[in-house]
Amino acid sequence: MAESGPPTPAVPAGWYSDPAGSSGTRWWDGAGWTDHVQAAPQLVPTVVPAPSTPAPISPTVLTPTALTSTPILPTAAEQAYVPFQSATSVVPPRVTGVAYTRSVWWICAQPLWGIASQVVLYSTITAFGPVPVRFLALGLVVLNLVLWGILVRLAFADRAGLLAGGNGSAASAWWMLLSPLAYLVARAQHVKLWEVGAWAPVVWWSLALIIAPGLAVAGVFAVYGIVAP
């Protein structure tokens, strides 16, 4: 058959599209076309394999032996964590102040020296003979007013001593107008904020109040000579 010349002189031998127009391929021997014709090869699509799926892991039954033999190690974040410890959370700060003054001890002993002063006044008035009851009562009233003024003065001195000693607050001295106990209780409410032992004066005043009646009876007996000198 007469076909057209080769595509190019440099084309190597091989199967090429048939120049006669068929759907197959014709053999080119490097110099000319031959009569060998074959069907065109079918293109096989390239199949990309799918990623393999890992086999499911069967659940492992944890036995006491497995729990003890397989340690659970902490993660890196857990190993790096160090709990914060504050020294102030362990040792509470100590406030500095004072709980006692010389004046407050005089206030604590008020039941004793108050009764003693009344016994002395009574014995002094009755030493010169019988006196009218009205005069004796007037003398006791004046004495108690003087004692009350002394207690108020001691309360002011005690308050000044607490503030000068470092306490940030102190009870008003005018609580003494109600009673020494009222002042000592109000005083303790402030002192406990700055120092320990705030309630000790209240305890000592209560003990002195218990002892005072016995001291008064002993003083009266002494005045009348019931108790031998």
Indicate whether 225 pLDDT > 80: no
Indicate whether 26 pLDDT > 70: yes
Indicate whether 163 pLDDT > 90: yes
Categorize the per-residue pLDDT at 215 as very low, low, confident or very high, splitting at 50, 70 and 90: confident
Categorize the per-residue pLDDT at 205 as very low, low, confident or very high, splitting at 50, 70 and 90: very high
Average pLDDT for the chain: 78
Query: What local confidence, expressed as pLDDT, does residue 123 receive?
Result: 79
Is the model more confident about 116 or about 154?
Answer: 154
Distances (CA, A) of 150 to 106, 124, 140, 183: 10, 21, 15, 14
Lookup result for tokens 């964590």? 81
Is the model more confident about 169 or about 121?
Answer: 169
Query: What local confidence, expressed as pLDDT, does residue 209 receive?
Result: 92
Q: How far apart are CA 122 and CA 220, in angstroms?
A: 9
Query: What local confidence, expressed as pLDDT, does residue 74 receive?
Result: 60
Q: Which two tokens stand for residue 118?
A: 């009344």
3-state percent breakdown (helix, strand, coil) of the chain, nearest 5? 50, 5, 45
- Its pTM stands at 0.54
Query: pLDDT for 105-152, tens place per residue?
Result: 999 999 999 988 888 888 787 777 777 888 888 888 999 999 999 999
Look up residue 188 and give its DSSP letter. Answer: H
Indicate whether 1 pLDDT > 50: no
Query: What local confidence, expressed as pLDDT, does residue 198 receive?
Result: 94
Categorize the per-residue pLDDT at 88 as very low, low, confident or very high, splitting at 50, 70 and 90: very low
Parse the chain into domains and list their residue ranges. Answer: 102-223
Q: Which of 27-36, 151-160, 172-181 has the lowest mean pLDDT?
A: 27-36
Query: pLDDT for 40-65, tens place per residue?
Result: 776 656 666 666 666 565 555 545 55
If residue 193 lies in a helix (H) or strand (E), which one and from where to where?
Answer: none
Distances (CA, A) of 43 to 22, 40, 46: 18, 9, 9
